[in-house]
Amino acid sequence: MIVQTLSGTVEGDDLNGVYVYRGIPYAAPPVGNRRFKPPASPLAWTGVRPCKQFGSIAPQQHQPNGNVPGLAQSEDCLNLNVWTTGVSEKLKPVMVYIHGGGFVSGNGAECDGFRYAAEYGIVYVSINYRLGALGFLYLGDLLGNGYETSGNHGMLDIAAALRWVRLNIAAFGGDPSRVTVIGNSAGAKCTATLYVMEAAQGLFHRAIAQSGATQSIRDGQTANVTTLRLLEELGLPQAQAFQLLELPAERIIEAQSAIGSDTSRSLHMFGPVADGHVIPLDPLASLAGNAGLPPLLIGTNEDEAAIFIHNDPALQSPAFGTLERLFGENAAVVWNAYACYEQSMASGEAWNKALTEHLYTIGAMQFAEAVASSGTPVWMYRLQGGGSLGAIHGYEGSLISAAFNRNVMSAEGPSHEDPYSVAAESYALARAMREAWVAFVHSGDPNIRALPAWPVYGSGHATMVLDQNCCVREDLPIPAGIGVPHQVWRMA
């Protein structure tokens, strides 16, 4: 199927009735004098552009081990992919996937939209955006005019992709007035950050944030610390910061990888910046009284931190220094929470609980409350059903994928070699989650017959507990340190 976009004509692949368009440019290449600049409108082309191969992904340290290995890396990475069953009499809801990866890795090819298009009548879009220093390095203090927004260009890329969707998706059969943004981990943090960006207003109408909210937004001072560390690694004095405009991208990525070589540091090395231009200085406060915010489906997993502890020796022994790298000036609050939990449970369990709550749970609750206070419907979930390490970070993605493909599940139970494997007895939960998510994309409400009635998250903090036997609870324990100001992350 050949489609006419505002920039030119594209041709994709026909995969048994699902048309796939890969690598469509949604903005001009951010190369040369466009490095560290906001995204510009896509360049037009003549003739029919073949879009049958995934486009280049953002420069990053490791080639992803996803379902499409070996993708080329390039600064010219602002492209997206579309899955659709084509144009019909009635426009279809649109689902825009923002990949995770800690703001330093990942790509839009890692999630396949074929089944969403074929089975649920959704036009599925996945995007690439600038990562790491090339997308989130704050240069306003060093380079001045023209670079005040450089710490948020990855976010402005996402807004540009959503603008492309609004202008072009009807030609693919999608409804530009029913766009749902979805992300996991850093993708969820990007999704939540869109709520506080004036540049994103009106570009999406629903959002699903899986294990992430606005807690990775940092203030300008903290963002500047990362910039100075990168300059030091590159051997550049502050007066020579302009050389960043001409250095090979590979050298910049090598330097950022060197200063973020352990989990506890890299988790907070890059992220959106409260610069007062793209993102308000007090992001959550900016939502107050903001009527008309998009409905939100948000949640976290019971054992988010267990996978980080399992994979990183630096996290396996409780230490205050680790918390300083993870939480900056809030480290003492997290250490006190750990000490409190250790009085009633084993040290390892207390450490996992304290890290999980302060990395994910508290941020999700604060964001949900801020959105709900504006009168917007919010649905909160807590995933408790998990694998061999519990409901770890990213496990909801395994469940939803398992609902599409029974073959990925083990009939003998979760594999202890793979903490993301899904047991056969979890298939009903996986299917219910998939159906609830799809219902939300279609209607803006996740209520389905397979789950108990799911009330909105209001003063009662009603939360859908997703497990073998799902239930709604309003009495989930409030995390210790819920008052910690995570909405802007600050260096100690």
Residue 410's pLDDT band, with cuts at 50, 70 and 90, is very low
Q: Are strands 218-219 and 174-184 parallel, antiparallel or unpaired?
A: unpaired
| Opening angle at CA 27, ends 61 and 33, nearest 5 | 70
C-beta of residue 36 within 8 angstroms of C-beta of residue 137: yes
Q: Is pLDDT of 59 > 60?
A: yes
pLDDT (tens digit per residue) in 120-170: 999 999 999 999 999 999 999 999 999 999 999 999 999 999 999 999 999
CATH H-level superfamily of 1-283: Alpha/Beta hydrolase fold, catalytic domain (3.40.50.1820)
Mean pLDDT value across residues 300-323? 94
Query: Would you state the pLDDT for residue 261?
Result: 66
The pLDDT of residue 260 is 77
**290 or 189, which is more confident?**
189
Is the pLDDT at 488 greater than 50? The verdict is no
Question: For the chain, what are the domain ranges?
Answer: 1-283, 299-492
Q: How much of the chain, in percent, has pLDDT values that exceed 90?
A: 83
pLDDT, tens digit, 9 for 90 and up, residues 428-442: 999 999 999 999 999
User: For residue range 64-78, what is the model confidence (pLDDT) as tens digits?
Assistant: 444 556 799 999 999
Q: Go through 148-182 and write b for each residue having 16 or more CB atoms within 10 A of its CB, e for each that does not.
A: bbbbbbbbbbbbbbbbbbbebbbebbbebebbbbb
Domains 1-283 and 299-492 are alike in CATH topology = yes
What average pLDDT does the chain have? 92
What pLDDT band is residue 481 in, cutting at 50, 70 and 90? low
pLDDT of residue 485: 55
Confidence of residue 53 (pLDDT cuts 50, 70, 90): very high
Residues 417-422 have a mean pLDDT of 91
For residue 62, the one-letter residue type is H
User: How confident is the model at residue 68, as a pLDDT?
Assistant: 57
Which position has the higher pLDDT, 491 or 123?
A: 123
Active-site residue set: 185, 304, 393
Higher per-residue pLDDT: 3 or 268 = 3
- Give the number of C-alpha atoms closer than 13 A to the C-alpha of residue 88, restricted to the C-beta side: 14
Q: CA 69, 75, 76, 81 torsion: positive or negative?
A: positive
Residue 74 in tokens: 């390039």
Q: Quick one: pLDDT at residue 268?
A: 67
Q: Tens digit of pLDDT for each residue in 339-378?
A: 999 999 999 999 999 999 999 999 999 999 999 999 999 9
CATH number of 299-492: 3.40.50.1820
pLDDT grade for 416, boundaries at 50, 70 and 90: low
